[in-house]
Every structure is written in structure tokens, then in C-alpha cells.
Structure 1
Amino acid sequence: MTTPAPNHQPTIIPQAPNLDANGYVLMDANTGMIIAHKNMHQKMQPASLTKLMTLYLTFEALKNGQIHLTDKVRVSKTAWATGGSRMFLNEGSLVTVQKLIDGIIVASGNDACTALAQYVGGNQATFVEMMNATAQQLGMKGTHYVDPTGLPKPGHHTTPYDMALLTHAIINNFPQYYPFFKQGWINYNGIKQPNRNRLLWRDPSVDGLKTGHTEEAGYCLIASALRHGMRLISVVMGTPTDASRANDSEALLNWGFRYYQTHKLFDAATALAHPNVWFGQSKTLPIGLASTLYVTIPAGSYSNLKPEVNIPNKLQAPIQKGQMVGTLNIRNGNEIVTSAPLIALKGDQKGGIFSRAWDHIAVHF
């Protein structure tokens, strides 16, 4: 971590925009830090934001080689008859997984969503079980799914925070599929439909993700934008109009980019220190981080950051590669802004009998 030149960005942070929404979250996509929020743990109807979990499970199946983008899916009568927004699939037709993904992202097609859920899960009920199991794995404690589309049903709910967690996972776990969310149009069955995410048309830094609307949920939008290497995720739920969900999301993103910055501090698997090791084959041990460390902080405060390495005074072999041996804290003054475990970058087995005997003598003096 190097000390930068003086930063003349403002250091006084105004309150986040006052949004006419039931709830919202602004999260940094690298660090997962919540920058701003309102009612972020309150349970709400997600409407078509639900489809992000359907897409998450689809991406996971693609990544694992269980399905392929070129696979052709036969459209069932159930999928064809699903109400609400549609891709306009024909019953019995064969449609590729890629085209169904496009139909979900751009047209918010409930028919495409049902067809894909049946294909990935075997049937819709099993797929919903997969949705809820994955939600628990991701830490989405306020979420319960009843269907893969988001059509209103009792017991179907989520929270703005959970939607941010899911979006964070999509962006970081499936970078190869994330560009699908930037598509502006879909043309299928002679019908051309635009992406309902208005920010894609007005802000070139925005490249996803999903809109949602029902009478119960109001107008919802999850958006993400990348500016100068910093990516933010905005979740806005329960606004009164289509225009307000776009305007509120834009205001939230602009505020976050204006008053906060994300910095990469240390790369993964890079030696940050070489502490002494007792009773081992080596006298020192390279230690570092398992993953790259980022920090999100108020603009203008980067030069105040100080790293603090905490490791035991006497590390003793044997030590396995990847074993946690300490903690790295990043301080801004007296405040710890982030922490990460320090791991051994290579192993160190017990030394020979004479080496250990000498260390036993030295360690007591």
C-alpha cells in the first residue's frame, strides 16, 4: 500500500439522497460495504427482482457444466401460460438457454423464467427449493421464495439488503455472464422489446441489472455502475413510478461515486511479512492474504490509512500452507475500517531434532 499524493476531494459527506422508496441499499461491489441504506432489513415484495436468483442458479449450472448456452429447452404448457410480462414463447417450441436468459433480463419474461426453472431444476417445485437453499448459503436471512418469477404470492418476500447480497454474488461469482445484463433489446417471435432499465439508456457507466414491478411491490430497480475502477450496486424498492425508480437509483449512485472511493490495498498471495518460525525447517515464513483486499472509504481519507499486522510473537511449526496465522487490520485513525486473515503462503514442517533442540533453548532466552 503506497501513500498517494494529496487528495483534494471533499471530506464532508452530506446525507444520502432522500428517496421516495420503501427501502434501498447502496453497496460497493468489491468490498461489500454498505454505504447508505433505508429499511434494508425490512421484508418486502421483490416482484421481478426474484428473477436474479433464477439467473444465479442458471449461471451456476452453466459454470459447472451441467447445462450449456446452446442447449435447447422445450417450452411447456405451464411456461407458455404463465401470466405477466412475457417473452412470447410458443408452447412446444425449442428455445436455447441463451435466448431464455436474454428474455428474462431484457423482457422480464415470466414464460422464459418458468421454462428455465423447469430445465435447470427438473421441475418448478424443485427449483424453488434450490432458490431457498441458495439464499441461505448467501446469507439472505430475510428472503423466502415461492416461485421463480416474482408474481405475488403469500410468503414470497425479500429485503433490500438481501437483494444487494445476491447482486454482489452474481457480479463476483459469474463475471463471464454479467455482460448479459447490459443488453438493450430482444427481438423474438417477431416482437422487439426494450430493456426496462432506463439507466442503461441514460448513463454509460450503468451495465445492469434488473427491474421489477407489481401493485404490491411498487416499482423496483437494482442497478450497477462502474466508474474509474469503482463498482457500486444500488437496490431501490417500492417507489411510486417507473421514472422515480430510475431517478432515485441514479441519485444514489451519483452520491456514492461523488463522496466515496474504493481502493485496492494488497493483492492476494503476495508476501506482506516474513515472521520468524520456531521448531521448523525454515527460520521465517511468508504470510499474506487469500484474496485481494479492497477498502471503501470517504473521499479524501486514503492517505490516513495505516496497515497493522497482528501475529503471535512465536509462530511454531508445523504450519500448513493456507493456515491462518494472524490478522491484518486497516486503520483510519483509531477506527478499524476493514480486517482480513493473514495466512501462510507456504508450509513449514517440523525441523530436525537438533534444530528443534536449539530452538527450545533459544525460545527461553
Structure 2
Amino acid sequence: MDFETGEVLFSQNGDVAMPPASMSKLMTVLMTMEAVAEGRLSLDDELPVSENAWRRGGAASGSSTMFLEVNSRARVEDLLRGIIVQSGNDACIVIAEALGGSEDAFADMMTDRAQELGLTSASFANSTGWPHPDHRISAEDLARLARIIIADHPALYEIYAEREFTYNGIRQFNRNPLLGVFDGADGLKTGHTEESGYGLVGTAERDGTRRIIVFNGMDSSSSRANEAERMMRSALSDYSVYDLFSAGDQIDHEADVFMGVSDQVSLEIAEDVRIGMHRRARRNMSVEVVYNGPLIAPVEAGSVVGQLIVSVPDAEPRRYDLQAAETVERKGLMGRIGAALSHMIRGG
């Protein structure tokens, strides 16, 4: 995905909901960042570590943990680092209980917020990514989620670039295989369960261009690292976003008008047309103008009268509204009679 435009540059089953494992912690982090931004939490607030959080996500759980101590308190800023850098399940549950009252209630909040953001594939059953049949999100929606975090919370996003974090005297390292290896990489989140395999939501920026990659299902952490570097290199070097038209541009095509003072009307594009694609695909791109014609006068300037269809190999066609560039008034009575007779004679 291109960060600036949100264009999906390449996708293979990217719209299919999948088990995201710890990559879904991006949603837990976003909920926390939004709570801080709205004043419902402060980075200095100290939240209680319940026995539930310790038992299900702490040292007793045998899962990824920040090693919070039961019945202790932890600062929100430390909890964010515990989630982002250490993938701490205990930190997630502490946040969930603070914001939702319980992890189940917080998971419902996560799902509701995701739907509000347009992440329509998202359904969350917990705050951690622990395997559950109802815990799902697509790769494309994970990319959109990452884009929201980067764009809306730039200061706190910087935590994703931190390569280690020490808490309670225990030093743990960020599992993101791109950090410190791929120039410009500064986030985001790994994931792994037996069901989902090894996955990554990663991002890097070079020369002012930022890309986001998402994949899942690798069979080892080393294969994840190799795939991450391959995908990111390709995303930055092989793909571009092309500005084909700007809103209001007239296209090299006119629509026929029946019963109008003019026989044709110019067409203009109603919105910016920016399309991301592999650089080799541009030579095989096609553009088609479609409208139901002839248009019947009067035709109002700005009224949608057709579509511009842009087709790129290995991608769904994109459709953009075309509108009349100017008003075409209807002919007077005698003009309409003449036009009708002419139409009949031509056999139209």
C-alpha cells in the first residue's frame, strides 16, 4: 500500500479475513493512542495489573509478555512500549480492562471502532490476537489500520522504531525483522500463532515515499524476515502511483446530445484519478469512456453522465464518474421537431 494515497499497489487474497495473531495489537494500540489524544488516558497514568492480566498474559501464561507483576501498577507509556516492542499480552489486557472494564467488552469496542474506520473485515474477540474463530481481519484492512496510526499519531508512532525495551530489569528486543536491517524501516508489528503462521505489518520510507506491506502464513521467523525484505524492496522500487487526471480535467471525448442546442457536450473527470501499479503494467493500461447515449437535453453542467474505466493488468477495473463540462439547453419547439424527424429518417 502507498501511504500517501492509500492505494493498494498489489494484493493477493488481501481482502480475505484471516487470523492476524499479534498483528491485531495494532488495533489495541490505536484505541490506546486515541484515548490519550482525547484525554481519557494520560501517558503518566498508572493502571492496575489484575490477576487476570497476569495469569492470561503475564509470565504465568507462557505467551509473549511484558513481565508485569500481579497487583502492581504500570504507566500507560510503558504499557504502550510493552505492546509495541515486546508484544506483551499482559500489557494489552491491562489496557483493555482500563478502557473497557473487561477484555470482552474492550474487544467489542475494538470491533465497533474498526467498523467506524471502514475496516469492514475486522472482528475482534480479544485484545491480544490470541487464536479465536471470531478474531479476524484482512491484510488490506491491517494496512489501512497501520496507515491511520502513522498519520494520526505521529509522535507515539515513533515507539514502533524502538528496537528494545527493558522493564522490570528484563530486556527484550523488537521482533520486527526490518528494523536496523532495511534502510528507512520504522514499524510496525509481527504476529505468530500455529494457525496463522508468521506474519508482519511493516513500513519503510525512502526519499519521501512510504510503503506499507502486510503478509501472513510464513513457516518460520527466518522466512518471514526474507519475505519482509523482498516485499519492501519491491514495494519501494517496482511500484509507483500515477496521477492520470485531476478533478475538472476535460477528457479527449465528447458525448452526443439529442434535442440540445448543441449536438455534443464535453466531458470532464469528477475526481482525481491516482492509480498505483507495477511500473511495467502502465504500458498495458487501458482507458475506456462509457455513457448511455445520446444524452437527452437539457444537460446540466456538473451532472454525472458517464464513467471513465481504467483497466490495469491483474487488478480490478477502476471506475470514475464523468460529468458534463457545460450546460446544453434544450432546443425550442421547432428545433425539437426537426431533430425528431431527422432521427426518424436516420432510423435511430
Give 3-state SS (helix, strand or coil) of 2:154's partner.
Answer: coil
**Count of residue pairs the alignment pairs up:** 292
- Determine the C-alpha separation between the residues in 1 that align with 2:125 and 2:322: 38
- Alignment match of 1:189 (pick from 155, 168, 178): 168
TM-score between both structures, scaled by the size of structure 2:
0.71
> Cα–Cα, structure 1 residues 73 and 193, in superposed 2: closer, same or farther, change >3 Å?
same
Secondary structure of 1:34's aligned partner: coil
2:133 match: 154
Q: How does 1:19-168 map to 2 (within 5 A)?
A: 27-81=1-55, 82=57, 83=61, 84-168=63-147
For residues 111-160 of structure 1, give each alpha carbon's deviation from its aligned partner in whole angstroms, at most 9, with x where no partner exists. Answer: 01111111122322221111110121223333211110011123222222
2:178 aligned residue (199, 204, 210): 199
Asked if 1:208 corresponds to 2:187, the answer is: yes
CA shift in 2, pair 1:45/1:332, >3 Å = closer
Contact 2:9-2:278 at 8 Å conserved across structures: no
Partner of 2:214: 235
**Alignment partners' CA distance in 2, 1:125 and 1:221:** 25
1-structure distance, mates of 2:319, 2:4: 13
Matches within 5 A, 1:214-363: 214-262=193-241, 296-299=276-279
CA displacement at 1:109 relative to structure 2: 0.3
Q: Which among 154, 169, 172 is matched to residue 151 of structure 2? A: 172
**Structure 1 residues 59-80: Cα deviation after superposition (integer angstroms, max 9, x where no partner):** 1111212111111111111111
Q: Is the 8 A contact 1:208 1:225 kept in 2?
A: yes
| Alignment-mate amino acid for residue 141 of structure 1 | T
The 1:33–1:194 alpha-carbon spacing in structure 2 relative to 1, beyond 3 Å, is same
Q: Quick one: structure 1 residues 98 and 313, their matched pair in 2 at CA, closer, same or farther if it must change by over 3 Å?
A: farther
Q: Is the 8 A contact 1:73 1:119 kept in 2?
A: yes
- With over 3 angstroms needed to count, the CA separation of the structure-2 counterparts of 1:272 and 1:111, relative to structure 1, is same
| Per-residue deviation, 1:221 | 0.8
Query: 1:212: Cα distance to partner?
Result: 0.8
Q: Provide Cα deviations, 1:245-303, integer angstroms capped at 9, x if missing partner.
A: 12112111111211222478999xx9999xxxxxxxxxxxxxx99xx99653554969x
| CA distance 1:120–1:254, shift in 2 (3 Å) | same
Match for residue 354 of structure 1?
none
| Counterpart residue type for residue 142 of structure 1 | S
Amino acid at match of 2:217: G
* Separation in 2, partners of 1:149, 1:294: 36
1:331 positional shift: 7.9
Which amino acid in the other structure matches residue 193 of structure 2? T
Q: 1:331 to 1:196 in 2, by over 3 A?
A: same
Determine if contact 1:295/1:338 at 8 Å carries over to the other structure: no
Structure 1's 299 and 102: CA in aligned 2 closer, same or farther, altered over 3 A?
same
Residue in 1 that maps onto 2:338 = none
Instruction: Look up the match of 2:335.
Output: none
Give the distance between the partners of 2:304 and 2:71, measured in 1 at CA.
58
- Matched to 1:96, the amino acid is R
Amino acid at match of 1:296: G
Q: Which is bigger in relative contact order (C-alpha 8 A, separation at least 6)?
A: 1
> 1:108 Cα deviation (Å)?
0.3
Code of the residue aligned with 2:93 in structure 1: it is T
Identify if the C-alpha distance between structure 1 residues 65 and 266 changes in structure 2 by more than 3 Å, giving closer, same or farther. Answer: farther
Distance 1:127 1:88 in 2: 22
How many Å separate the matches in 2 of 1:293 and 1:188? Answer: 48
2:8 and 2:276 in contact (8 A); partners too: no
Give the structure 2 partner of residue 309 of structure 1. none
> By how many angstroms is 1:327 displaced?
12
Q: 1:235 deviation in Å? A: 0.5
Secondary structure class of the residue paired with 1:51: helix
Superposed displacement of residue 39, structure 1:
1.8
CA contact (8 A) 1:138 1:165 kept: no
The percent identity for this pair of structures is: 36
Whether the 8 Å CA contact 1:70–1:97 is kept in 2: the answer is: yes
Maintained 8 Å contact 2:9/2:277: no
User: CA 1:296–1:42 in structure 2 vs 1: closer, same or farther (change >3 Å)?
Assistant: closer
